[in-house]
């Protein structure tokens, strides 16, 4: 067999497996192209979470094993394993949704009838675009999103690539919206620091800022749905919601992972701004 010639001290060994772009998992390529193997193997360092239990349709699916790779951390391997064995990820891929999160909004919309035909919708924390897709499909007339992460365009939606906490964000969103909104959605999650108290404060602050904006742009009768954590909306935030909306409910859609403290607060029937 011919040996590979060294071309000097800088010569590097050929890569053994293609580079895995984990950010594209929900949209992505075949598992085999990602250096992954089916079916699941028992050995290996990563003790992966219980795989692919029941698919959304009720049937069980094969589990995909993720091999450890030199440059991938243990937590990334676990994340990738969970993604590849998640029935909502598979369903999103099959049905053309950008994210598994799309199924959370689909369920909330079915339960609370948030997005009617011709609705004007604001989507805070919109990347990679699943909720925008759902809003457009539900018949919204105007869909405006914002995220500090970029995302490919969603036909029928206008998305700002900007931090929602930026001073200019509310005005820019209002300009894009060009009038009042019927629905303000927030799926934003503040990046965690690992310090529980700090993380909690940041989450609450983000939800409160989303509510400030919602109350500034919602038409009377409008709705606000917002991701919250740790037992749901609490304290002043909840008091304010109950004061300003006729109905306030908590919901944990099936696509929201059971082990996550994430849930949604859905407030409908905005009473309007007191001028
Ligand atoms: C769970 S993802 C949203 C998924 C989206 N609903 C979908 O269906 O594709 C949360 C998003 O919130 C965004 N986000 C968090 N904080 C933000 C902020 N301050 N301004 C803008 N976007 C933010 C993150 O960048 C992330 O893309």
Cβ of 182 less than 6 Å from ligand 1: no
The residue extents of the domains of the chain are 25-95, 102-270
Can you tell me which atom of ligand 1 is nearest the CA of 134?
8
214 CB-near residues (< 8 Å, 6+ apart) = 122, 181, 184, 186, 222, 224, 270
Q: What is the DSSP letter of 60?
A: B
Mean pLDDT calculated for residue range 224-250: 92
Ligand 1 centroid to Cα of residue 126, in Å, is 5
Ligand 1 centroid to Cα of residue 188, in Å, is 4
pLDDT at residue 37, rounded to an integer: 36
**Average pLDDT score over the chain:** 80
Mean pLDDT calculated for residue range 233-255: 94
With 90 as the cut, is the pLDDT of residue 15 above it?
no
Cβ–Cβ < 8 Å for 84, 76: no
Name the residue with higher pLDDT: 137 or 36: 137
Ligand 1 centroid to Cα of residue 13, in Å, is 38
Q: How many CB atoms lie within 10 A of CB 226?
A: 25
- What are 89-136's pLDDT values in tens digits? 999 999 999 999 999 999 999 999 999 999 999 999 999 999 999 999
Cβ of 245 less than 6 Å from ligand 1: no
pTM reported for the whole predicted model: 0.76
Ligand 1 centroid to Cα of residue 118, in Å, is 24
Cβ of 244 less than 6 Å from ligand 1: no
Q: What is the DSSP letter of 54?
A: B
With 60 as the cut, is the pLDDT of residue 240 above it?
yes
Is 37 tagged catalytic? no
To test the ligand 1 pocket, which listed residue (122, 135, 146, 147) has its Cβ within 8 A of the most ligand atoms?
A: 147
- What are 168-216's pLDDT values in tens digits? 999 999 999 999 999 999 999 988 888 888 888 888 899 999 999 999 9
* C-alpha dist (Å) from residue 221 to 46, 88, 144: 50, 32, 19
Name the residue with higher pLDDT: 17 or 271: 271
Cβ of 164 less than 6 Å from ligand 1: yes
- What are 55-86's pLDDT values in tens digits? 454 444 456 666 666 777 777 777 677 777 78
C-alpha angle 180-245-198 in degrees, rounded to nearest 5: 95
Closest to 204 in 3D by CA, of 162, 160, 239: 239
Question: From CA 70, how far away is CA 19, in angstroms rounded?
Answer: 11
Q: Which of 174, 227, 242, 254 is catalytic?
A: 227
**Pairing status of strand 120-124 against strand 181-186:** parallel
With 90 as the cut, is the pLDDT of residue 244 above it?
yes
Alpha-carbon torsion (154, 105, 180, 265), positive or negative: negative
Cβ of 189 less than 6 Å from ligand 1: yes
Cβ of 46 less than 6 Å from ligand 1: no
Closest to 216 in 3D by CA, of 159, 171, 249, 151: 171
Q: Give, using CA atoms, the residue closest to atom 13 of ligand 1.
A: 125
Cβ of 29 less than 6 Å from ligand 1: no
Can you tell me which atom of ligand 1 is nearest the CA of 102?
8
Q: Give, using CA atoms, the residue closest to atom 24 of ligand 1.
A: 125
Cβ of 148 less than 6 Å from ligand 1: yes
pLDDT bin (cut points 50, 70, 90) of residue 8 is very low
Can you tell me which atom of ligand 1 is nearest the CA of 133?
8
CATH code reported for the domain at 102-270: 3.40.50.150
Cβ of 253 less than 6 Å from ligand 1: no
């Amino acid at each position: 067999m011919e040996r590979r010639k060294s071309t000097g001290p800088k010569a590097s060994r050929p890569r053994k497996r293609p580079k895995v772009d984990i950010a594209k998992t929900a949209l992505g390529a075949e598992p085999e192209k990602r250096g992954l193997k089916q079916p699941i193997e028992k050995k290996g360092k990563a003790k992966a979470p219980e795989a692919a239990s029941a698919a959304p349709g009720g049937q069980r699916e094969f589990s995909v094993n993720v091999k450890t790779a030199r440059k991938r951390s243990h937590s990334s391997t676990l994340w990738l394993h969970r993604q590849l064995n998640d029935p909502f990820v598979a369903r999103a891929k099959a049905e053309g949704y950008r994210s598994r999160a799309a199924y959370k909004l689909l369920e909330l919309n079915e339960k609370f009838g948030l997005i009617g035909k011709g609705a004007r919708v604001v989507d805070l924390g919109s990347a990679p675009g699943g909720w925008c897709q759902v809003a457009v499909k539900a018949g919204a007339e105007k869909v405006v999103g914002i995220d500090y992460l970029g995302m490919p365009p969603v036909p029928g939606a206008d998305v700002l690539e900007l931090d929602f906490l930026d001073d200019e964000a509310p005005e820019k969103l209002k300009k894009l919206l060009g009038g009042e909104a019927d629905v303000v959605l927030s799926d934003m999650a503040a990046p965690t620091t690992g310090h529980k108290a700090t993380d909690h404060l940041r989450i609450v602050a983000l939800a409160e800022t989303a509510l400030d904006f919602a109350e500034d742009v919602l038409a009377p009768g409008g709705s606000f749905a917002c991701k919250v954590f740790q037992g749901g909306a609490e304290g002043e935030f909840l008091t304010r919601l109950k004061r300003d909306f006729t109905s306030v409910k908590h919901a944990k859609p099936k696509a929201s992972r059971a082990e996550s403290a994430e849930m949604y607060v859905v407030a409908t029937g905005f009473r309007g701004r007191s001028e």
